Structure 1
Amino acid sequence: MGYKKNEPKRNCPNREAIQRLIIEKMKEYTDKIIDLKVEKREFTAKTLVEKIKNTHSCKTVGEIFLQQIEQLKRENRIGYALSHTQVYNSLIEFNKHLDIYFSDIDVQWLRKYETWLKGQNLAYNTIGIRFRTLRTVYNIAIKEGYVKAEFYPFKDYKVSKLHENTPKRAIVKDNVIKVMNHKEPVSNSSYNQLAIDLFTFSYLMGGINFTDMARLTGENIMDEQLVYRRKKTRKLIHLPIHPKAMEIMNKYKSDNPYIFPILSSFHKTEQQKLNRIHKVIGKVNACLKTLGDELELDKKLTTYVARHSYATTLKRAGVSTSLICDALGHSSERVTQIYLDSFENTQLKAAMKNLL
């Protein structure tokens, strides 16, 4: 090496490769200096070297996935941890291993994965969930400096195309009232009346979903308002309590810390709570299905139908999508729009008759 000139001697083996390495390394340091100056951040030669070294601490796709799964478990987001685990296992089955870097996942790789998933006979929406989870973890890898944003393949590969419109799950207001007014004989299973009460409560209280209903305690009632944080999105919801909803809550008053007889103080761990909720929602939905058949409704009745029906009824009454979005605790109005019934098309059809 020519120490005075800071470059390899002419007779040095691999001279060109070494020169290229030196140029790349100098560029890396120059780029970092520019970034720090733009951000008006101070640095010394030592801290500059440390910052460059940290950007080189690479982690494989497998390592980042496992890291994220553990983080979700620590946050008690067991459902999300499970969906991440499913994607992790799916990726291993597809690629045989995950000892690769996120920079290796390009558009071509994603297309191959999509083709492979389709070969597994999975529903289109399930494939969409796999890709949205992968995209989420890729964004985490970028944020934590394990891959450069320039490698991000989802600008060209659109996950939105992996969505299939599911049948609308809302029922019209008249049918909702039929369900709410149905009285179960005392001799029948207590689950039947609980099912009707939970459906009614959800419909009257912003379409609150079953998991969030199950977790409500007296602490969620503040100044005649229901205040709770959605388990799924962590959004804080404030809703005025409908008088009939208050009647339902009072009906189930007991020593149980929870408002509804789904969870109890016995259910301590997150897994115990999830198991219990899963068991009860199965029974409740079975009761609602039977009731829906009895009332000859045109859709299968479940607790989730109350959520969709709440959104659609308000929309038909002229309430803005943004307000409905807030009540449902959705991440965006686009998600709310999926919930809304396609009644606008019916109205548009009628209006178009006036064109000629």
Structure 2
Amino acid sequence: MKQNSLTDFINEVIVELQQEGRFATAYIYKYTLRAFTQSVGGGEIFWGGLNRGALRRFQTYLEDLQKSYNTISTYIRALRAVYNRAVDRGLVAGEFRLFANLKTGVASEKKRAVTASQMQKLVRRPGNRELSPKVCQAQDTLSLMILLQGMPYTDLAHLHKNDLNGELLTCHRQKTGTELCVKVVPEAMVLIDRYRNNEPDSPYLLNFLSGTCSDKEAFEEYQEKLRELNSQLSKLPELCGVEGVKVSSYTARHTWATLAKYCQVPEEIISEGLGHSSLEVTRTYLKSFEGDELEKANRIIIDYIVTGNKNVWSKI
């Protein structure tokens, strides 16, 4: 087998991932290669350039750029995955503990949830100013993610028309494939109707994505929509008079889970409502719950945001 350089091999892996439809992973590998190349001063990197010293310098380089722990970990783990793949293919001899003592774990991020009163302000149109159409859509999207049990934007944007049957929304999560069932409350149905996709050739329930792209173009279209959403959401705190918070596409999900815990909703119910498939997220074994239990949990959180009255799960 040809002895590729590290640069050649990563580019080959990126092409393979794209052919497999794994565009998100290919995207991470692309930026990992770019950052690692910059850390060594540019040019082609040969396998000898991937050593303990270079890896430590790469980590320091990212730290000097003030990258977060999780960003650094993502890049280091991407290099490790590529290295392991090269070892499996016989391109290089595996070096024991090459990636030891580097940042490869996952750290708890800064607080992404907001309080019930803050969320109430964020999803209401401010009476003292007019919002642009793009900000209004971002605000509605934030509302819809909260109303649909903290649904991630990727799942929301990729909902299909046949996922909605009356008031029951059933889909599979983009990240894990876990089935997620949501009883659509009236407030959410209003927003779904507002952004419903009426194009007969599009499979999507909402008009966030065109439905006309495929493969790499579809991934790039989604990434562009996500960037635009986060850009507009970042403007909401100032426009809505909410100080000291940052808002992004993660805010709805973290807020739903945090408020559910604050209202003493059992962790098993929270797990089911979020569609988790890993105990690293919720610590408890996932089991199925009747739809009315999930609906009750969602209603508690919505009412808490709207009215400010905290109904505790155990009292209902």
Q: Provide the secondary structure at the position in 2 that maps to 1:238.
A: strand
In the alignment, residue 98 of structure 1 is paired with which amino acid? I
Unaligned runs of 5+ in 2: 284-316
Map of 2:16 onto structure 1: 71
Query: Separation in 2 of the partners of 1:208 and 1:273?
Result: 19
Map of 2:209 onto structure 1: 263
Once the two structures are superposed, what CA deviation does each residue of 1:259-290 show, in whole Å capped at 9, x if it has no partner?
Answer: 22222245456426634652575267426623
Q: Residue 226 of structure 1: which of 164, 170, 179 is its match?
A: 170
Q: Provide the secondary structure at the position in 1 that maps to 2:171.
A: strand
Q: Residue 195 of structure 2: which of 246, 252, 265 is its match?
A: 252
Q: Residue 85 of structure 2: which of 123, 140, 156 is its match?
A: 140
Alpha-carbon spacing, 1:67–1:241, altered in 2? closer, same or farther (3 Å): farther
Deviates most, 307-316 or 262-271:
262-271
Query: Separation in 1 of the partners of 2:32 and 2:164?
Result: 38
- Say whether residues 1:196 and 2:139 are aligned partners: yes
Alpha-carbon spacing, 1:89–1:160, altered in 2? closer, same or farther (3 Å): closer
Q: Which has the higher contact order (CA 8 A, sep 6+)?
A: 2
Contact 1:184-1:193 at 8 Å conserved across structures: no
Contact 1:226-1:240 at 8 Å conserved across structures: yes
Contact 1:288-1:301 at 8 Å conserved across structures: yes
In the alignment, residue 235 of structure 1 is paired with which amino acid? G
Q: Which has the higher helix share?
A: 1
Map of 2:47 onto structure 1: 100
Q: How many residues align structurally?
A: 276
Q: Provide the secondary structure at the position in 1 that maps to 2:245.
A: coil
Question: How large is the RMSD of aligned CA atoms in angstroms?
Answer: 3.8
Unaligned runs of 5+ in 1: 1-55, 338-356
Query: Separation in 1 of the partners of 2:216 and 2:3?
Result: 33
Query: Separation in 2 of the partners of 1:326 and 1:98?
Result: 46
Q: TM-score, normalised by structure 2?
A: 0.69
Cα offset, 1:303, TM superposition? 3.1
Query: Separation in 2 of the partners of 1:119 and 1:175?
Result: 34
State percent identity of aligned pairs.
23
Cα offset, 1:220, TM superposition? 2.8
Map of 2:287 onto structure 1: none
Cα offset, 1:81, TM superposition? 1.6
Q: Provide the secondary structure at the position in 2 that maps to 1:153.
A: coil
In the alignment, residue 263 of structure 2 is paired with which amino acid? A
Alpha-carbon spacing, 1:144–1:130, altered in 2? closer, same or farther (3 Å): same
Alpha-carbon spacing, 1:91–1:329, altered in 2? closer, same or farther (3 Å): farther
- Say whether residues 1:169 and 2:116 are aligned partners: no
Contact 1:106-1:151 at 8 Å conserved across structures: no
- Say whether residues 1:205 and 2:148 are aligned partners: yes
Q: Which has the larger radius of gyration?
A: 1
Alpha-carbon spacing, 1:291–1:79, altered in 2? closer, same or farther (3 Å): same
Contact 1:204-1:245 at 8 Å conserved across structures: yes
Q: TM-score, normalised by structure 1?
A: 0.62
